[in-house]
Each structure stands twice: as C-alpha cells, then as structure tokens.
Amino acid sequence: MPTATLAQEAVVMPTGAISLLWLTVLLPFAGFLFNGILSLRRSTSKAAVSVVGPAVLIAAFAVAVAAFFQLQGLHPEAPIVLRYWTWMPVGDFQIEMALQYDQLSAIMLLVVTGVGSLIHLFSIGYMKADEGYARFFAYLNLFVAFMLVLVLGASYPVLFIGWEGVGLCSYLLIGFWFTVKPNADAGFKAFLANRIGDFGFLVAMFTLYHVAGALDFVTVNQWLLANPQLVDTGIVTTIALFFFLGCTGKSAQIPLYTWLPDAMAGPTPVSALIHAATMVTAGVYLVARSNVLFAMSEAASIVVAGVGALTALFAATIGLRQYDIKKVLAYSTVSQLGYMFIAVGTGAYVAGIFHLVTHAFFKALLFLGSGSVIHVMHEALHATHSHADAQDMRNMGGLRRWMPTTFWLMLLATLAIAGIPPFSGFFSKDEILAFAFARGEASPVFYVFYGMGLLAALLTAIYMARLMAMTFFGENRTGAAEQQHLHEAPAIMTWPLIVLGVLSVIGGAINLPHFVGGNEWLHHWLEPVTGAGHALPWVAGLHLPEGATEYALIGIAVLVGVFGLWFGMRSTLARAIPTPDAAPPERGFARVLANKYWVDEIYDRFIVRPVVGLSRGFLWKFMDKGLIDGAAVNGPAWISRHVLGKAGSLLQNGQVGLYLIFFMLGALWILRVALG
C-alpha cells in the first residue's frame, strides 16, 4: 500500500503576525462586548457602532493577511500549534486551549474575515433604520468570533466550541426580529436541526477518544497513519459517518437541510454571512480537516459524495419554482454545498475547498445584491404605503433601469455560479465534476454522482437566469407610484458588491487547470494538509482527466451552463409575469416544487407531531403530572392530610378521661417492654 506520512507539529512558538492570531478571535469578541453594552442603553450612538462593528473585522483581516504572508515565507510542512492554557486536565485526558495554523486554516481565516468585513460594511447601510442596530452588530461580531474559533481550533473539542457558538449565533440572528412569530420559529428550527447534527459530532468525538486516546488533529492523524490495518474497518467508518451527521446539520444536507431556507427570516446580511463565509461551510471544512480519517473509509466517503450529489440535485429542483428572491438563493446554497461534499467525498479535498472559496465570493455577492434590491423595494413600497412583498420577484421586473450597478454585479455572480468561463465558479465546479468522473473508473457509482452533478448544474443555470429575468428584465411590476422611489443602493452597500464582483471574476485564478496554464496554486498550497489523505489507498491515484477526455468534459459543462441560462431566460420572459395577487395557482409538478415536495409537512406529520404528542400526552400529563406530581409528591401529602390527619383528629375530641386512658395504656406498654 502507498505510504502516507505526516510531519510532526512545529514546537517553536513563532514570532510576528502568526503569534498574534489570537487577536483575530479577540477583536470581533471585543466588538461583541462593546456593541452589546451599547445595545442595553436606551439611546445608542449608531456612529460608534458603525465604526466599531466593521473595524474589528477589518483589523482581524489585516492580521490574517499578515499571518498568511508570513506562513507563505516559512513554507512549513507541519502545522503551527499555539498553546495558551490547559482547558480540561482530567488524569490522562488533557485538552489544550490551542490554535492550529496551517495552510488550510490560513485560507479559511482569509475567507471568514475578508468576506465577513464586506458584509459588515454592507450592513451599515442595510440596517441603519433598525431599532436593534447595536444588538445586530453585537451578534454579527460574535458570529465571526466563533467561526474563527472553529477554523483555528487545534482539536475537535476546541473546534466544537466554535461549532456550537455559530449555532447559537444563527439562532440569535435568524430570529433577530423575534417579535414576529415566524421569525422566532425559524431561529428555533435552525437551533433544533443543528442539535441533531451535534449529537453525531459528540458521538464521533467520544468514540474517537475511546480508540485513539487523543482528540487533537496532529495526534489523531498520526495515530490513524500508524495503524494502516484500520483502513475500511467498522470503527473508522462509524466515526466518519457520525462526524458527517454533524456536517449534514451544520451544512444543511439531506435530511437536515430544511432549516436553511427558513433562515431567510433574518436580515439579508445574516443570510450572506451564514451562506457564504461562515456557518454552512463548517461541515465541508470538518471533512477536509479530517481528510485522513475519511480517506481511510471508502464506504463513508461514498456516503458523503452520494448525499452531496442527491442534495445538489434535489435542492436545485426546488429552486426552479420559488418566488422569494432569498429563498431561491437559499436553495442554491444547499445545492452548492452538495457540490462541495461531492468533492470531499470523492477524495478531491482541495477541489472542495476551492469551491468553498469561490462560492463565498459569488454567493455573498448574490445575497448582498438581493439585499440591495430588497432594501430599495422596501423603501419604495413603504413610501406608497403598499403592502406588497418586497422579496417576491413577481413584484419586481425591469429593475436594471434603476439599479444598473447592482444588475451588472449580480450578472457577474450569476455567470460564476452557472459555471461560465472565465468566471471563478466555472473552474471550481468543473474541477469537482471532473474528479467525480475520474473516480468513476474505479468506483462506477461516481459516474452516477457525476451525472447528478451535471444535471444540478443545468438546473442551477436555469433558476439563476429565471431570478435575473424576473428581477431585472421585462416590464416593471412595482407600480407607477412605486417607480418614483426606485434608485440605486447607497455607496456603503454598493462598494462591497464591487469588491465581491472582482473576486467572483478572478477568484478561479488560484487553481487554474492544465488547459489554461496549470497554475494549481491551491493544490500545492494545501498539500501539507491534504497530502497524507491523498496518499492513502482509496484516494491515491486520483487525477484530473487529460487530453480529449478533459476537453470533452469541459465542453459539456460549458454547454450545460450556456443552455441553462438561455432556456431559463427565454422560458421566463416568454409570457407576462403576473403579480402575486393575479397569479394562478401552481399545477402539476410545478405545484410539488413550489411546495418543496412537502418535506416540512412530512416532517411535521410523522416526526414533530408524534414527538410533541408523546411529550405532552405521556411524558408531561401522565408521567410528570400523573405519576411524579400526583402519585409520588401529592399522593403522600393527600394520604397524610385526608387519612392520617382525619384519623388523628378523631382522637382529639376534648375528653380528658379518654386522654388519661391512652396515657395509662402507653405507660403500661413501656413498662412491659422495659421488664421484658
């Protein structure tokens, strides 16, 4: 079998920017404290919040950039572990509060702080009129702080702190407008769905510690590589699958994907932060970080890729018949995350991270662009006292006339997500499909996954063209009075979009394939992290197709994207788009897609209601109120009061002679006992 080695961790405490990595976590946490305190005051200075909220992220990004260039100069083959204190010293069980900085965490750090900074800047304009302005930025800062703990943690328990933290912040931000019940319910739904995934993460950690005796990444990987007999064994597969259960919750894969579309109840910058730069990418990061573990289990990897392929296709079909602009993008995110899991399940860990990075660029642009549209629509509808839905694309149309900058930038992101060259999404998505096709030679099931991914790419292009057509093309449907209030978004909201637009165009340059020069920088950069996993038997030998096969796959992918955009645009604009009030009811399969296959209703009927019924009818009314409160607690009290108390009261009748008789009987009994 091919040998796989892993370098020991760097033991010398580094100097320079890397030694300041703790600041990347502390700065946004300090912003959370500052803005959180301001949110408690009745009169809050929005100027102070507007400065501190984004500034702490920009400062963290500056540290991340400096640390990246320092790491690039060092070229370390081993991760740099920065230990601060012992967190859990229990006998032989020692968990250090430590950060691990290597090529993978460096990339994630740049994405989280960089894209997060742009989202914070955009939020200044988007949330300026909200009464909870300071509270919003406090939650947003805390969200990023926990995500940085997640990507920098040197062990599974430290990673889990960030894992749980982003789950908490998603609950707070999705339900930010909690006075509206559907918003509060959406936050609660996200919280519960993620708890199911967290159960899998915890079981995986406990099992891993039981067999390996360690939970830090360096030691666990060394233990796995030192025991090649564990390849494809039940214990490795079990641990990997339980970790993946955690990933399905955090990264919204089947069957735990339903919380993510409902997360649109939060402010649009929250949607951008969750979908593009932070929380939902945590599952993909976990698999890439644990690449040695997953590479040792072919069965677990096939499950990962299969669930990813099914999710990519399933979510893309739902996106075809959604009318809420944010819901379309939400199902798009679920689908694109499926692509990332196809990659890491195929063993193409770098391709998965590559798509994670490019997706962060174009999906943040799409969400913030939709936020600009919603912001302007809301102002126009509010000015005319209209009750129309500002997020329903059937109330839009022709907006490119009033919002040309937003239109062109969202068009760039649409071309990127549709996989049109030379935009970033083309290179990352094409690489995933090519690797899946290449894997099919050894495991034919991957040909099926490739086909599902290709079909999902076609549907992606169709629903994104439909989104652009309904929003920016055709006749304007906002109303004559509302048109007078349509305009481009303010500069503080537009400039972040321009930066993301540039990144969406050139982002693919970090990992160019052979046919355009072969600058596979990301592959070489991540080799110290993914090399050990790539060398294991099941993954070893996986290479991109070359020659005629490569060009054929590229041609098919491009044709699929171009045809999808053409068909989506043509079919949407072929007939007049009615407003929501005038729209006829959906029929046939379109009704199934519009209702999202009734998955939420199925879950409610067969899972939620039985659980609630069991909880209320049996556990609460019978067990808690009946047995515990009634029989165990109130029962003895009733007996004491109504039986023993009443019997004793019969003896208290006020007859002194009777009392004397009882006294004498008692005394005689005591004498009898005493005298034997």
Q: So what's the pLDDT on residue 674?
A: 81
For the chain, the average pLDDT equals 91
Task: Identify the residue with better confidence: 285 or 586.
Answer: 285
Rounded CA separation 149/166 (Å): 10
Reported as a pLDDT band with limits 50, 70 and 90, residue 13 is low
pLDDT at residue number 1: 41
* Averaged pLDDT for residues 371-389: 92
pTM: 0.92
What integer is the mean pLDDT of 56-68?
Answer: 97
Residue 210 binned pLDDT confidence (cut-offs 50, 70, 90): very high
Dist. CA 144–CA 277, nearest whole Å? 9
- Using alpha carbons, select from 297, 345, 356 the residue that is nearest to residue 446: 345
The CA–CA distances, whole Å, from 47 to 54, 126, 135, 460 equal 12, 14, 14, 41
* pLDDT for 108: 97
| Residue type (1 letter), 234 | G
Q: What is the DSSP letter of 324?
A: B
pLDDT above 70: percentage of residues in the chain: 97
Q: If phi over 0 gives left and psi between -120 and 50 gives alpha, with beta otherwise, what is residue 38?
A: alpha
pLDDT value of residue 156: 96
Rg of the Cα trace of the chain? 30
Tens of pLDDT, residues 152-199: 999 999 999 999 999 999 999 999 999 999 999 999 999 999 999 999
- C-alpha 1 chain-centroid distance: 36
Residue 365 pLDDT:
97
Task: List, for residues 213-254, the tens digit of each pLDDT value.
Answer: 999 999 999 999 999 999 999 999 999 999 999 999 999 999
336: pLDDT strictly greater than 50: yes
Describe the chain by its helix, strand, coil percentages, rounded to 5: 75, 5, 20
**Segment (H or E) for 568:** helix 547-573
